[in-house]
Amino acid sequence: MKSKTTIQITLIIFALIISSYVYLKFFSVDILKNDAEINEKIIQNSEDSENQNELKTAESIIDNLEYKSQDAIGNRYLIKSKKAESSTDNQFTLKLIDVDATIFLVGKPPIIINSNYAIHNKQTFNTEFFGNVKILHEDIDVKSDNLDLLYDINLVSLYNIKEAYFNNTELIADKINFDMLTRDISINMNEEKDKIAIFYK
């Protein structure tokens, strides 16, 4: 009876050893292999995501941008910026940084524009300058918060004016519009009750 019990225990231990060997030999290797594949895929996906983000960033920022155009009557337009960022909302829109622009008028001295920023439409060429806007044209020297170059209607519109000088004359006004076709200039205040002021030095 004791011998029979000993044999049974030996067989059970042997069966456990065989079972453990089979599990470690086949099943655990597959599990480790699957874990390695999953980890590899996670790492690869992470790297792909980082590469795509870097690519998108590179594509969305342009250094030393330059645009040239000419209207129907021969006025030429040149816009330069040290950096430009493409818009995710509108494929035709660029945000320009550190901007210099020149409007070469036919038979007239050029209009020179500088600003910290601008929003430029590649389709219409319309450009909204803002942030420390400075304008020079002949004896005209203006500083403002905003200037819109509306290429499609041949209009330069200055508003939120800080300073405006013509020779030694200071002009107090809120808006100045310059028609590039007719060369007409209109000067206005935001409020009708306010008056345009001119100071001679």
In a domain, 9, yes or no: no
Overall number of domains in the chain:
1
8 in a structural domain: no
Closest residue by Cα to residue 136 from 154, 116, 156: 156
- CA pair distance 156, 134, nearest whole angstrom: 13
Query: Is residue 53 included in any domain, yes or no?
Result: no
Residue 25 lies in a domain: no
Asked whether residue 15 is domain-assigned, the answer is no
Task: Answer whether residue 52 is part of any domain.
Answer: no
- Contacts by residues 56-65 (CB-CB < 8 Å, ≥ 24 positions apart): 59/86, 60/85, 60/86, 60/88, 61/85, 61/86, 62/86, 62/94, 65/94, 65/96
pLDDT values of the chain reduced to their tens digit, one per residue, 201 residues: 545 555 555 555 555 555 555 444 544 444 444 454 545 555 555 555 555 544 444 457 888 888 888 888 888 999 999 998 887 777 888 899 999 999 998 888 899 999 999 999 988 889 999 999 999 988 888 999 999 999 888 889 999 999 888 887 888 888 888 888 887 888 888 877 667 656 555
Cβ atoms < 10 Å from Cβ of 174: 16
What range defines the domain where residue 95 resides? Answer: 63-200
**Residue 2 falls inside a structural domain:** no
CATH code for position 83? 2.60.450.10
In a domain, 5, yes or no: no
Phi first, then psi, for residue 132 (nearest 5°) are: 50, 55
Rounded CA separation 113/178 (Å) = 14
